[in-house]
Amino acid sequence: MSNEESWFGRFVDTLPTKGWFKFLSKYVVTPYWLWKDPKPKLPGGPRVSSQPSDNVQRMMNLIMPLKDPSEIGKARAVMAIAQNVDEIFGGLDNVGTVHFARFVILGDKLCMISVYDGDFSNYIRDFIVTVGSVFDAIMAEIEGGSALIPTEQNVEAFIEWVHEHDLFQAPDFPTELFTLQDQAKGIGPDGPVHDLSTLPRNLVLQFHSNPDISLGGGYRAYPGFSAAQIREKLGVGW
């Protein structure tokens, strides 16, 4: 409809910029649709694939709410990391499958952003096996973190917690969103066909359950190689 070269089409196109329309969609339309068509929270992290090349260089965007988001609380988190950073990076080195990892403080959250190869659970488990006791100091600054300390004795719970706090990765092929939303509701591939024009609306609704998301799989300069393969090729040992 909005593509029609009619006055009405042009009118609809300008709607998103109109104040009254913004107001209406925020307080009436979106809540109404959310009530009518709720979208369960979509799981975080990369999805498993049958393609080996998709199973290396996977992204983790772990977003951890700070217990105390004040300036002082943030500084405490920075201290906890600074005091343990060598051990944490040493631990990541021992895990062996990690390309990059870094910490970011964003608003009231502490983020750990990393690129790793293979299975998420193995990555987190091996990480805890090597530096769990050190990472506990960081978890102590995180909301909900105390329940998981010592992480070494709560490995499964910790893995699930990290998975829950890993950002949902919006698919590279936009229409895959339909499939993921269906899956989350337990609807199989034989479910009803989706009208392509409803994609934007479905994205809007999804933001209600996943307010922060990662956009697609990201850029890779040398796709398909594991960290160890690159190290081997560079002759730096793995």
Provide the binding-site residues for another protein, judged by CB under 8 A.
48-50, 52-53, 55-56, 94-97, 117-119, 121-122, 125-126, 128-130, 132-133, 150, 152-157, 159-160, 224-229, 231-232, 238
- What minimum distance in Å lies between the beta carbon of 27 and another protein? 36
Contact between 177 and 171 (Cβ < 8 Å)? yes
- Give φ, ψ of 215 to 5 degrees: -90, 105
- Give φ, ψ of 144 to 5 degrees: 85, -5
Of residues 191 and 224, the one with the C-beta less far from another protein: 224
> What is the rounded distance in angstroms from the CA atom of residue 235 to the CA atom of residue 222?
17
Of residues 168 and 205, the one with the C-beta less far from another protein: 168
Of residues 137 and 155, the one with the C-beta less far from another protein: 155
- What minimum distance in Å lies between the beta carbon of 210 and another protein? 19
Q: Where are the alpha helices (DSSP H) in the chain?
A: 7-14, 19-24, 30-36, 71-95, 120-139, 155-165, 176-184, 199-209, 227-234
Of residues 52 and 191, the one with the C-beta less far from another protein: 52
- What minimum distance in Å lies between the beta carbon of 187 and another protein? 14
Of residues 7 and 173, the one with the C-beta less far from another protein: 173
- What minimum distance in Å lies between the beta carbon of 238 and another protein? 6
Q: What is the widest separation between alpha-carbon atoms in the chain?
A: 66
- What minimum distance in Å lies between the beta carbon of 114 and another protein? 15
> What is the rounded distance in angstroms from the CA atom of residue 126 to the CA atom of residue 206?
32
> What is the rounded distance in angstroms from the CA atom of residue 112 to the CA atom of residue 96?
17
